Amino acid sequence: MSNPVIQNIHERRSVRLFDPKTLPQDILETLINSGNRAPSGMNTQGWRFVVVQSAEARAKLSAAALPRYKTWLAAASPEVQTRRAKVDVIVDDPVYYNAPVVLFVIGTGTMTQDYDCPMACENIMLAARSLDIGSCWVYFGLKALEEPSIKEMLGIKPTEKAFGPILLGYPKANYFPDAPPKKPADITRL
């Protein structure tokens, strides 16, 4: 199909090798505004965005998440350990992959935030791909929030919930990985 939107969806990949080059502020704002355009229950837009760019703040995130990642990895299957080792040996931060931007979408307590905020995340990742910006949603990035000092650093209130984080940056050597095999859609027709 030659539809550019569908092509962009099909070409989106999780990028884990980032160039240290800073994202221009106008591009970052475009990505955040794309997330802000996501649908939300009753148009509440029950989210806000926290952008982590400073080396110091990213180091604090990594220091909090890394021990939790290592505990999980030690208990993972040998297949997962082997797959993870391929990336872990080429980055010194196996949680945030040295991405220049770590972006959290913060749900502000609306009743539909668990549905709305992931749509904002996906909009950001699709917009990033359309601009040749790499992105990756990293589950272990949330593990840093188990440290109260990290929640405080990010300004997350007790009534709020974090989603993502989404890593953003230029892929190293413009590297977008090949698509992993996808199973055919499981469809029930009635």
Highest mean pLDDT among 52-61, 81-90, 138-147, 180-189: 52-61
Angle at 6 between CA 50 and CA 171, to 5 degrees: 50
Q: What percent of the chain has pLDDT over 70?
A: 99
Residues 77-111 pLDDT 10s:
999 999 889 888 888 899 999 999 999 999 999 99
Report the b/e string of 124-160 with b at 16+ CB within 10 A: bbbbbbbeebbbbbbebbbbbbebeebbebbebeeeb
Domain boundaries, the chain: 18-171
> What's the pTM?
0.92
Residues 13-59 pLDDT 10s:
999 999 999 999 999 999 999 999 999 988 889 999 999 999 999 99
| H/E element, 103 | strand 101-107
Res 175: pLDDT = 77
Res 1: pLDDT = 59
Q: Are strands 101-107 and 47-52 parallel, antiparallel or unpaired?
A: antiparallel
Joined together, the tokens standing for residue 83 give 């797959």
Q: How would CATH label the architecture of 18-171?
A: 3-Layer(aba) Sandwich (3.40)
